[in-house]
Each structure stands twice: as structure tokens, then as C-alpha cells.
Amino acid sequence: MPVQIGASAHDFSDPTGFLSDCHRRIEMFMGVLEAVAKDIDRPLTPESKRAVEAALRYFRESAPKHNADEEESLFPRMRNMGGTVIHPALARIEELEKQHRWAATLHEEVERIGQICLSVTRPSQKEVESFRGAVAELAAMYREHIRVEEDEVFPVAARHLSRGEQAEIGKEMTARRSVALKLP
């Protein structure tokens, strides 16, 4: 189960493009967890262990930054936009934020049981079932969550936020990751 994170097609000067690239990584790492969940009642192979480690690290360290990009940088500016064009997207944003909270609890469970599987200990049958259930629920949620963001929210932001606002969002996203900002 080789894991290749891959380069981003968009940089921080295109915030919604960059966020969509992050979605591809979320999908890839959810795919890793779904594949592992099938055989989680057996000892992991060294290759599966590396894949699980990478997936758990992604959801522990990088995914929270993605949520913060949306909740602290993108969504507040959309809420400030005003005008009827934003209304359908605003209705969606509230639900998206709730899903972020809901997913956090399931990710904690996946992390806890995933770490057991990476250790010398074996998960109990109850933990095996819990891991499978949490991964299945997260995968289903992300499919719809990402669809709503990419089809109904990001296009409105890309079309109606000014270049200045998009640059500010890009700067905040950069600061979260402490890397140099590349602007055209």
C-alpha cells in the first residue's frame, strides 16, 4: 500500500484551489484507512503500518489546519460578503462547520485504535468494530462534505471574494504552515 502525498497543483495565491488539493489528500488517506479497516483484525504488514502511520499523521497534524483555513479564514469572509448571491452557500457553511466538530470525535477514535494496531498490542474485537465503523462513517461524511464545498461553496468564494481578500486568506494559510508565500 504505497503512499504518495504528491505535489499541490495550486499554491496559496489560489486559496480555494489549494483547499481542493487538500481534499484530494483527505480522499487518499481515507482510502488508506478504508483499505486497512478490512484487515484490521490481523497484524499489519510493515507496508500497511507505514501507510497507517502516514494517514494518522495527516489527520492529526494537517487536516486541522485545513479546517482552520475554512473556519477562520474563508468562511468568515464569505459571511461578510452580503448580497443574496451568498445565501445558499451560507446555509451550507453552518452544516459544514458542524461536520468538522462531528468528525473530530471519530478521528480521535481512529487515532486511538490505529495507535494500538501500530504497537505490539492487538485491538480487541470491540475496537476492531469501532475502527471499522468510525472509518466508514468518516468516509461517507467526507464524500458529501467535499462535494458540497467544491460544488456549492468554493466556486462562490472564488467568484465573489476580491483579489485582496483572497490574498489575505492565502497569507493566513501560509502562516498556519509557516512557509514562504509565493505570489505571482
Interacting residue ranges for Fe ion, rule: CB under 5 A? 70, 96, 149
Say what the alpha-carbon torsion angle 109, 115, 121, 124 is, to the nearest 10 degrees: 20
CB of 130 to Fe ion, least distance (A): 24
**Cβ 142 to Fe ion shortest distance, Å:** 9
Q: What is the DSSP string of 124-181?
A: PHHHHHHHHHHHHHHHHHHHHHHHHIIIIIHHHHHHHS-HHHHHHHHHHHHHHHT---
If the CB atoms of residues 41 and 152 are measured against Fe ion, the closer one turns out to be 152
- Between residues 1 and 68, which has the closer beta carbon with respect to Fe ion? 68
Shortest Cβ 72–Fe ion spacing (Å): 12
- Whether residue 170 contacts residue 179, with contact meaning beta carbons closer than 8 Å, is answered with no
* For the chain, counts of helices (H) and of strands (E): 8, 0
Q: Least Å distance between CB 106 and Fe ion?
A: 14
